[in-house]
Chain A
Amino acid sequence: MKAARVVALGLGAIACGCSGNQSALHPYGAPAIHVEHLIVGIVALCTVVWVLVMATLGAALWRRRQKKVETEISQQWLTMTVTAALALTVILIAGMTIASFYTTRAIGLPAKAALTITLKAQQWWWQVTYAGSAAMPGFQTANEIHIPVGQDVQILLESADVIHSFWVPSLAGKQDLVPGRSNSLLLRAEKPGVYRGQCAEFCGLQHSHMAVLVIAEAPADYTRWAVSQSADAIMPAGPDAAAGRTAFLAKPCAACHTVRGTAATGTSGPDLTHVGSRQTIAAGLVETTRGSLAAWIADPQTLKPGNNMPMVPLTSFELQDISAYMESLK
C-alpha cells in the first residue's frame, strides 16, 4: 500500500507542498479518507495496467524481427494471449466495481446524525442555517460552517436559484444543490481545522468566487461558537463603529442584509449579525479585515464582477465607519 501511495501521489506531492486545505489527496474527514483509499488503490492498479500495455506496445514495435523470412507467428498463440488479456481486464473491472460499491456504502449517511445543518446556495454565496433547540434559538450565517469534530453532521443541500455543488474535498466528495430538490451529505471531520470548499457546478458569472469554509472544532468550542452566533448583534463600542451602525441602517445596506437586533432585516444578502467573526468575506474572496471590508463595500463589482451587491455611493467617512462597524460585529 505504501508503494501504491507513492505511485499515485508522487507527482501530486511534488507539485503541491501546500496547506492541503482543499485537496482530495489530504483527507481529514471520514468519507474523504475512504474515498482517498479508493483513489490510491485504483490509480495504482491503473498505473500498473498502463505500464504493462505500454511495455507490450514497445515490445511489439521494436521486437527483433528476422530480416528475410519472418517465422509466421501462430494465430492460435495470438488468440490465446488476447483472450487472456481480455479475461484479466474483466477480472480487474469486476474488482474495481466491487471496491467502488463497498466504498459507496461506507460514505453513505448514517441513520441518525448528531447535527443537521441546512445549506442553501445562491448566486454566489452560501446561506447556512442552524436549527434552534430548547436551549438556544436558531440562527443564520454565511459562507462558513462550523461543525463539531468527530461527529456525524448531516448537511441538507438546497438551492435558491440555479444548480450549485457543495464540495469540501478534504472532508467529503461533492453533492449538487438542485432547485426543487433536497439532497444531503455526510460531513465528519476527524481532526480540527479549517477546510476550504468551493462551488463545483458552473453557476454563472461568479462561479469562481463561491467558496465556503468548514471549520471543525472541539465540541466544547463548537457549542461556545453556536451560543455566541445565536445572540443578537452587539452594540458597537467605539464612536466610528457607532456612526457606522447609523449609516448602515440609513443606507441601502439594510434593505438586503440582516443584522439581528437592529432594524436591518433584508434577506437577499448574507446575514451580517456576526460578520466580524467570520474568517473571510464575499464567499471566501478575501480575509476579513477592516481594510478588505472597506474595499469590498466601496467597489464590490471590481473585486467580484457581476455579483449582486451594488456599488452604494458612500462618502469616505461613511465607508470608514461602516467597515469599522462590520469589523466590530464579532
Chain B
Amino acid sequence: MTRSKDGELRDTALSDRELKRALAVTWSAPPGLWGALSTVDHKVIGRRYVATAFVFLALGGVLSMLMRLQLAQPEARFIGPDRYNQIFTMHGSNMMFLFAVPVMQAMAIYFVPLMVGTRNIAFPRLNAFSYWIYLAGGLLLWIAFVVDTGPDVGWFAYVPLSGPQYGAGKRADVWAQMITFTEVSALAIAVEIVVTVFKQRAPGMSLDRLPLFVWSMVVTSFLVIMAMPAIMIASTSLILDRLVGTHFFNPAEGGDALLWQHLFWFFGHPEVYIIFLPAVGMVSTIVATFTGRPVFGYLATVMALIATGILAFGLWVHHMFVAGLPRLGESFFTASSMAIAVPAGLQIFCWLATIWAGRPVFKTPFLFVIGFMVIFVIGGLTGVMVASVPFDTQVHDTYFVVAHFHYVLVGGAVFPLLGAIYYWFPKLTGRTMSEPFGRWVFGLIFVGFNLTFFPMHILGLQGMPRRIYTYQPEMPWSGLNMFISLSAIILAAGFLLFFIDAIRSARSGAVATANPWGASTLEWATASPPPPYNFARLPVVDSREPLWTEPAELRVAAGLGVDRRELLITSVAEAVPEARESSVGNSIWPLLAALATTVALVWSIFSPWAVVWGSIPVAVSLIGWFWPKGVPEDES
C-alpha cells in the first residue's frame, strides 16, 4: 500500500482484494436504522422505490377489483356513488402518479448508473429526498382515502367539479397536493438522470454507444422536466382557487374552465410517454439479450425516441375534442396525434427485424415482450382511432377509451416492466425468479388482461360511458360486464402469483451469477447484487455492447482515490475523462428536509399561512443539508 504524493490513496496502489475492502469501507452505509434512513446509495433507494411502487400497484389493483365487483351486475348496491367516485379517482391517480411514473424512474435510479458504469447517481442526497417526498405523497393520498377524504373528482380533476363551489371539503386539495409531492420527486429524479448520463458515463461510452434503455430514460427525463411545470401551475392554481379564492378557472371573473384542461393535458399527454418510453427502453434491452444480437437500427430507434418525445407535446388537444374547440384546430391535432404512430411504428418494425434476424430464447422476460407486442399494437391502433375527431366524438369518455389506455399503459408499460423485473431481478436481489412460475404469471396476466379489457372496446361503442358506478338493467351491458369482472379474477390471480414469486424468490430464489442471461450491458459486469461501490475499477467502453465484444476482460480506468467517494466525470458527447469528482456521503438531512416539506405542503391544504411558517423548517433543514462539514466529500 503506497500513498501518492498528495497523501491520497489511489486504486492503482492496491490489489483487487485490498481495493474492494477499502471501497466497501468508503461507500457503505452504517448498519441499522441510522444507515437505513441516511443512505444515499442509488441501489438501496432504487430498490425501495421499486418496492414501494409495487405496493401501490397492488393497492390500486385491489381498488380495480372493487370496481369490477360493483359493475358485475346492473344497479348493484355493493358500493355507493360517493365511495365509488373516490375509488376510481384513487385507482387512476394512484396508478399514474404513484405507480407508473415512479416505478419507471425507480428502475432508472437503480440501473442507469450501473449501465453507464459509474458508482452513484448524480446528486445522491436529492435522490434520497426524492424518495421520502414520494413516500409522503403516497401516504397522504392513501390515508386521506382511508378516512373518507379521498379525491372523488376523477384523476384529471376537471374544474368546476373539483373547484371551490362543487368540490366540497378537502378531497380535491388532497389530490392536488399529492400531485405536488410526486412532481417534486419526479423532477428531482429527472435532473439526476440527465446529469448522470451526460457527465458520469464510463470513459469511451460516447452518446452513440449509450444503451437504449439509458437513451429512453434521458428522453423521458427531458419530458418530465418540460411537462411537469404545466401540472405544477395547474394544481397550484387549483389549490389557490379553492383555498384563497383566486379566479383562474372562474368564467364569471375572466377565468376559464377549459384553461384547466389545456394545462392538465399539456402535462397529461406527455405523461403517457413518460410512462411508455422507459418501457420502450426495457423492450429494446430484453429483445437484444434474448435474440442474442443488438437491436436493429440503433440510430432509427434513438431518433424514434426523440421524435416521440417532441411530438408528445403537440397533441394534448386530442383529449379535448368534444369540449367545443374550433374544428380547424382540432384537425391539426388529429394530424399530429396520428403522426406519433410513425415513430411508434418504426420502433415496432425495428424490434421485429431484430427478432427476425436473431435467435429468440423464450424465457419469461422475452414472453412479456411478445405479450407487449401483441397488446401494444392493438393499443396503438385504437390510439390512431381516437385521434380522429369524428371517431372520438363517439368513443371519448366511454369504455372504449378505458380499454384503449389500458391496452397502451398495461400492454405498453406494465408488460415490459414485468419482463424487466424478471430480467433484472438477479441484479436487484442477487437471486433469480422462478422460470415455471414466470410462465404461469405471463399466461394468466396475458389471457386475463385481454379477456378483461378487450370487451370494453365493444361496451364503449355500445354506449357505456366511463366513470359510472352502475347502469340500469335495461341497458345491454350486463352480460359483458359480468364477463369482464370474471376475467379480471384471472388477471388478478396472475398478479398475485407474480407477487408471491417475487417475494419468495427474493428470500430463497436460486443465487444468480454476475451475468446470468449473457447480456451485453455494463450492469452485468459487476456482481449480483452489485457492491455499494458498483465497480471496483471503472470500466472503459469502446463499443455499444461492451460485454459481447470483450467478454474476457473489460478494460478498466485506474487512478481513482479510495479514501473518499470518488467517481469519474466525462465529457458530454465523447465521454472523455475530465475530472475526478467526489460523490457525497450519507446524510440524514434529506429525510429531515422531506419531513419539513411534507409538513408545509400538507398544512397548506388547510391554511395559506403554511407557506410562510412552513418554509422556516424547510429552510432550516436545507441549511443543515448544505452546511459545510469539512469532510473531503463536501469540500471538493
A and B associate? yes
B385–A46 touching, CB < 8 Å: yes
CB of B36 closer than 8 Å to a CB of A:
no
Q: 1/0 per residue A135-161: CB within 8 Å of B?
A: 000000000000000000000010001
Task: State in angstroms the CA–CA spacing of A140 and B382 once bound together.
Answer: 41
CB of A53 closer than 8 Å to a CB of B:
yes
A57–B385 touching, CB < 8 Å: no
For B471, list chain A residues within 8 Å (CB). Answer: 208
For A181, list chain B residues within 8 Å (CB). Answer: 251, 257-258, 324
Task: State in angstroms the CA–CA spacing of A175 and B257 once bound together.
Answer: 15
Other-chain residue from A16, A73, A167, A208 in contact with B357 (beta carbon distance below 8 A) = A73
CB of B244 closer than 8 Å to a CB of A:
no
B462–A208 touching, CB < 8 Å: no
B252–A180 touching, CB < 8 Å: yes
For B387, list chain A residues within 8 Å (CB). Answer: 100
Task: State in angstroms the CA–CA spacing of A239 and B161 once bound together.
Answer: 45
A200–B251 touching, CB < 8 Å: no
Closest to B389 in A: A104
B335–A97 touching, CB < 8 Å: yes
For A15, list chain B residues within 8 Å (CB). Answer: 455, 458, 462, 479-480
**Listed stretches B394-402, B432-440, B569-577; interface member:** B394-402
Task: State in angstroms the CA–CA spacing of A59 and B352 once bound together.
Answer: 10
For A180, list chain B residues within 8 Å (CB). Answer: 251-252, 256-257
For A96, list chain B residues within 8 Å (CB). Answer: 338, 384, 388
Closest to B359 in A: A65
Task: State in angstroms the CA–CA spacing of A172 and B463 once bound together.
Answer: 12
Other-chain residue from B385, B397, B475 in contact with A42 (beta carbon distance below 8 A) = B385
Question: What's the least CB distance linking B311 to chain A, in Å?
Answer: 12
A85–B82 touching, CB < 8 Å: no
Which A residues from 178 to 224 make CB contacts under 8 A with B? 178-181, 183, 196, 198-209
Closest to B398 in A: A200
**Listed stretches A18-26, A246-254, A288-296; interface member:** A18-26
Given A54-B374, A100-B334: A23 touches B462 (CB 8 Å cut-off): yes
Question: What's the least CB distance linking B590 to chain A, in Å?
Answer: 38
B381–A46 touching, CB < 8 Å: yes
A86–B349 touching, CB < 8 Å: yes
CB of A242 closer than 8 Å to a CB of B:
no
For A117, list chain B residues within 8 Å (CB). Answer: none
For A86, list chain B residues within 8 Å (CB). Answer: 342, 345-346, 349
Closest to A208 in B: B468
Q: Which residues of A contact B (CB under 8 A)?
A: 11-12, 15-19, 22-25, 32, 34-35, 38-39, 42-43, 46, 49-50, 53-54, 56-57, 59-61, 63, 65, 70, 73, 78-79, 81-82, 85-86, 89-90, 93, 96-97, 99-101, 103-104, 107-108, 123, 157, 161-163, 165, 167, 169, 172-176, 178-181, 183, 196, 198-209, 284-285, 305-306
Task: State in angstroms the CA–CA spacing of A104 and B469 once bound together.
Answer: 32
Given A93-B341, A205-B85, A306-B81: A178 touches B378 (CB 8 Å cut-off): no
A208–B345 touching, CB < 8 Å: no
Query: By DSSP majority rule, is chain B's interface helix, strand, loop, or mixed?
Result: helix
Task: State in angstroms the CA–CA spacing of A11 and B394 once bound together.
Answer: 18
For B82, list chain A residues within 8 Å (CB). Answer: 205, 305-306
28 CB contacts below 8 A, A to B, read: A15-B458, A18-B476, A23-B476, A50-B378, A60-B356, A60-B360, A78-B357, A81-B349, A82-B296, A100-B390, A103-B388, A103-B389, A161-B166, A162-B160, A167-B465, A172-B393, A173-B322, A173-B392, A173-B393, A173-B396, A174-B394, A202-B397, A204-B85, A205-B81, A208-B81, A208-B471, A305-B81, A306-B81
For A23, list chain B residues within 8 Å (CB). Answer: 461-463, 476
Question: What's the least CB distance linking A299 to chain B, in Å?
Answer: 14
Give me 11 other A-B pairs in contact (C-beta within 8 A), A196-B463, A305-B80 excluded: A16-B462, A24-B463, A25-B461, A53-B352, A54-B374, A79-B297, A90-B342, A100-B387, A100-B388, A107-B390, A207-B468
CB of B331 closer than 8 Å to a CB of A:
yes
Q: 1/0 per residue B308-335: CB within 8 Å of A?
A: 0000000000000011100100110011
CB of B370 closer than 8 Å to a CB of A:
yes
A89–B467 touching, CB < 8 Å: no
For A35, list chain B residues within 8 Å (CB). Answer: 390-391, 393-394
A82–B377 touching, CB < 8 Å: no
Which B residues from 268 to 306 make CB contacts under 8 A with A? 296-297, 300
CB of B65 closer than 8 Å to a CB of A:
no
Question: What's the least CB distance linking B28 to chain A, in Å?
Answer: 45
B323–A85 touching, CB < 8 Å: no
CB of B350 closer than 8 Å to a CB of A:
yes
Task: State in angstroms the CA–CA spacing of A165 and B390 once bound together.
Answer: 15
B476–A16 touching, CB < 8 Å: yes
For B176, list chain A residues within 8 Å (CB). Answer: none
Task: State in angstroms the CA–CA spacing of A23 and B464 once bound together.
Answer: 8
A104–B476 touching, CB < 8 Å: no
For A50, list chain B residues within 8 Å (CB). Answer: 377-378, 381
Task: State in angstroms the CA–CA spacing of A90 and B341 once bound together.
Answer: 9
For B355, list chain A residues within 8 Å (CB). Answer: 57, 60-61
Task: State in angstroms the CA–CA spacing of A163 and B396 once bound together.
Answer: 14
Q: 1/0 per residue B458-494: CB within 8 Å of A?
A: 1001110111111110011001100000000000000
Closest to A43 in B: B385
Q: 1/0 per residue B74-97: CB within 8 Å of A?
A: 000000111001000000000000
B476–A89 touching, CB < 8 Å: no
A165–B463 touching, CB < 8 Å: no
For B461, list chain A residues within 8 Å (CB). Answer: 12, 23-25, 39
B394–A24 touching, CB < 8 Å: yes
For B80, list chain A residues within 8 Å (CB). Answer: 305
Question: What's the least CB distance linking B446 to chain A, in Å?
Answer: 14
Task: State in angstroms the CA–CA spacing of A39 and B391 once bound together.
Answer: 6
B348–A53 touching, CB < 8 Å: yes
CB of B353 closer than 8 Å to a CB of A:
yes
A175–B322 touching, CB < 8 Å: yes
Other-chain residue from A78, A162, A174, A284 in contact with B161 (beta carbon distance below 8 A) = A162
Closest to A284 in B: B472
Task: State in angstroms the CA–CA spacing of A53 and B349 once bound together.
Answer: 9
